[in-house]
Amino acid sequence: MKKLMTALVAGSLALSAGAVLADSHEGEAGEPNVAAPVETFACRYNEGKGPADLDKAVNKFNAWADKNGIEDYSAWTLAPYYFSSNQEFDVLWLGASPKAKTLGRIQDTWLATGSKEQEAFNDVISCDGHGSFAALQMKAPPERDDPSQLVVTFSDCNTSEGTTFDDLYDPMIEWGKYMGEHGSDAGMWVFFPAYGGGGEEFDFKWVRAHQNLESLGAGWDHYSESGWQKGNELFAGKLKCDSSRAYIATNRRMGKSSDE
């Protein structure tokens, strides 16, 4: 079980520093914990293209978004860092809005007016998958020294037979508080598949982010030294997760906070 829980804990998605997904708070007393929509594109670079070419396409996207008053969409590109041959993409685009209706409105506007900007992306990358998830925040991220770049990890998780997510919710909240009390700067979410998949072999993705690789390593050290005991207490016999994939996440657009 210690090995299994290492996959759950060693990695850690602070998708925004007080921006779009911060609305999916843990749910204080009397407040619901409402999931936020996230869309993903899994893409490969076209022959002869690379990150510098993608930067140019992103600049055109941001110019389009500014022109159309898109203030409630945040986006990141994720480059694999710890990965295997099973990750058949070079870059992952992750976008989010506070509400699914808002995301749909932005997508409608893109389809209606963003054809030139889409051509700029098509020249650089080919995307074989477009999916969406419902992201439920389990631990809010702290203010970041540098929110423009983070280390993001994903694990695929399944509940054990006879266990539901309701059985895991309070332990996950408790785990987040425990990690925060022991110095963790990770934001923590669960991602439930919504659209674009089918035949998933997981119940949800356990998603985390740290400020940098040193912070990721500090969480790993704490878990290996003593945190695994708390992990076993909360999750033994309830949850199985595979090993985490880690990505360097670069912010491409930051939506305005609903608090502004």
Domains and CATH numbers, the chain: 2-253 (3.30.70.100)
Mean pLDDT of the chain: 87
159 contacts 167 by C-beta, under 8 angstroms: yes
At residue 259 the predicted structure's pLDDT band, cuts being 50, 70 and 90, is very low
Q: Residues of the chain with pLDDT > 90: what percent? A: 77
State the pLDDT at residue 25: 40
Q: How far apart are CA 112 and CA 90, in angstroms?
A: 28
- Between strands 149-159 and 239-241, the pairing is antiparallel
Give the model confidence (pLDDT) of 33-52 as tens digits: 889 999 999 999 999 999 99
Q: Percent helix, strand, coil in the chain (nearest 5)?
A: 35, 30, 35
- CA max distance for the chain: 54
252 contacts 62 by C-beta, under 8 angstroms: yes
DSSP 8-state code for residue 126: E
pLDDT above 70 for 29:
no
Q: How far apart are CA 40 and CA 96, in angstroms?
A: 9
Q: How far apart are CA 246 and CA 11, in angstroms?
A: 7
State the pLDDT at residue 257: 61
* Residue 214: C-alpha distances to residues 58, 179, 217, 220, 225 (Å): 28, 16, 5, 10, 16
State the pLDDT at residue 50: 97
Contacts of 210 (CB under 8 A, 6+ apart): 12, 14, 150, 151, 185, 186, 216, 219
Nearest to 19 by CA among 256, 188, 260: 256
Lowest mean pLDDT segment, chosen from 3-17, 47-61, 162-176, 240-254: 3-17
- DSSP, residue by residue, 31-91: -----EEEEEEEEEEPTT--HHHHHHHHHHHHHHHHHTT--S-EEEEEEEEE--TT---SE
Give the model confidence (pLDDT) of 130-183 as tens digits: 999 999 999 988 888 778 899 999 999 999 999 999 999 999 999 999 999 999
Query: Which pTM does this prediction carry?
Result: 0.85
**Residue in the structure block whose two tokens are 């963003």:** 114
Residue type, position 147, single letter = P
Would you put residue 146 in left (φ > 0), alpha (ψ -120 to 50) or beta? beta
State the pLDDT at residue 3: 35
pLDDT above 90 for 242:
yes
Q: Which residue has the higher pLDDT, 141 or 96?
A: 96
Give the model confidence (pLDDT) of 184-214 as tens digits: 989 999 999 999 988 899 999 999 999 999 9
